[in-house]
Amino acid sequence: QVTLRESGPALVKPTETLTLTCTFSGFSLSTSLMCVSWIRQPPGKALEWLARIDWEDDKYYSTSLKTRLTISKDTSKNQVVLTMTNMDPVDTATYYCARSSGSYLGGTLDYWGQGTLVTVSS
Amino acid sequence: NFMLTQPHSVSESPGKTVTISCTRSSGSIASNYVQWYQQRPGSSPTTVIYEDTQRPSGVPDRFSGSIDSSSNSASLTISGLKTEDEADYYCQSYDSSNVVFGGGTKLTVL
């Protein structure tokens, strides 16, 4: 059974760095073709893809946010970490991690975490 | 970067058929797979169509996907609408360096 769970602070201040952890089970990021992505959704708005890391440790970032994002994995802990620097109130959103499999970037996000709401406010 | 444009909202009666479009702004819609996700209020998205036309196990065959190269768009069609189909629907595709979601379509079944 595949599960993913996001964890991190519910509240961050403007200009701070956000660190989110995705802890998963039911698959391994050392297995060929396995990938984990981060996606966010501001309240009442659309989904926005942020970043992806794959089994070979290849990393992809949203063009518009790449200067602020870093994604990494700890295969032994079954965790993927996303950091986002210089947080702003417009970054207030529910942040999801999700699994995909396949060699192409836009593979189906077949399992999602429940999401974690991050509010950016002073 | 390309964009995926969806209608903001659609509505239809139970038992009817509705089609939601997803138009790609640049690059061929046929060059990269399109996925469709359903998101009910307060829940995480789930896949209803993957790789343009494929349906995950457990998704009813009332859901179908298609690609139209002439309009550079993908479509999600839901037939025999049920009240439980009321949700937001998002298309998703990609290119060599980016994954893109459409703006979402709110389906109301009334």
> For an interface test with B, which of A4, A108, A117 has the most B Cβ atoms less than 10 Å from its Cβ?
A108
- Per-residue pLDDT band for A102 (boundaries 50, 70, 90) equals confident
Q: How far apart are CA A117 and CA A103, in angstroms?
A: 30
Mean pLDDT estimate for chain A: 96
| Min Cα separation A51/chain B (Å) | 9
Confidence band, pLDDT 50/70/90 cuts, at residue A103: confident
Q: Which of A90, A116, A107, A115 is nearest to A33 (CA)?
A: A107
With pLDDT > 90 as the criterion, what percentage of chain B qualifies?
97
Backbone angles phi, psi at A100, to 5 degrees: -140, 165
In this structure, the strands spanning A109-112 and A93-101 are: antiparallel
pLDDT at A104: 84
- Residue B87, CA atoms < 13 Å, CB-side half-sphere: 19
* Average pLDDT score, chain B: 97
Two tokens, residue A109: 């996000």
The whole-angstrom distance between residue B25's C-alpha and the CA centroid of its chain comes to 16
Tokens of residue A59, six digits: 């990393």
| Interface contact flag, B99 A60, Cβ < 8 Å | yes
DSSP A17: P
Cβ-Cβ contacts under 8 Å for A62 (sequence gap 6 or more) = A48, A49, A50, A51, A69, B98, B99
A23 at B interface, C-beta within 8 A: no
The answer to whether residue B2 scores a pLDDT higher than 90 is yes
Our measurement of the distance from residue A12's CA atom to the centroid of its chain's CA atoms, rounded to an integer in Å, reads: 17
- Supply the pLDDT for residue A76: 95
Of A63, A109, A114, the CB nearest to B98: A63
Q: What is the pLDDT of residues A17-49, one digit of tens each?
A: 999 999 999 999 999 999 999 999 999 999 999
Strand positions, DSSP E, chain A:
3-7, 11-12, 18-25, 34-41, 48-54, 59-61, 69-74, 79-84, 93-101, 109-112, 116-120
Phi, psi dihedral angles at B3 (to 5 degrees)? -120, 155
Q: Give the mean pLDDT of B17-44.
A: 97
Strand order of the sheet with strand A3-7?
Answer: A3-7, A18-25, A79-84, A69-74
Q: How confident is the model at residue A106 (pLDDT cuts 50, 70, 90)?
A: confident
User: Chain A window 61-100: which residues touch B at a Cβ cutoff of 8 Å?
Assistant: 62-64, 96
Contacts of A104 in chain B (CB under 8 A): 32-33, 94
State how far the Cα of A80 lies from the Cα of A27, in Å rounded to an integer. 13
B48: its two tokens: 């209803």
What value does the mean pLDDT take over residues A70-87? 98
Give the model's pLDDT for residue B98: 93
Residue B58 has pLDDT above 90, yes or no: yes
**Rounded to an integer, what distance in angstroms lies between the CA atom of residue B28 and that of residue B30?**
5
> By three-state DSSP, how is residue A61 classified?
strand
SS3 B93: strand
Q: Is the pLDDT assigned to residue B83 strictly greater than 90? A: yes
Residue B13 CB-density burial (10 A; 0-12 exposed, 13-18 middle, 19+ buried): exposed
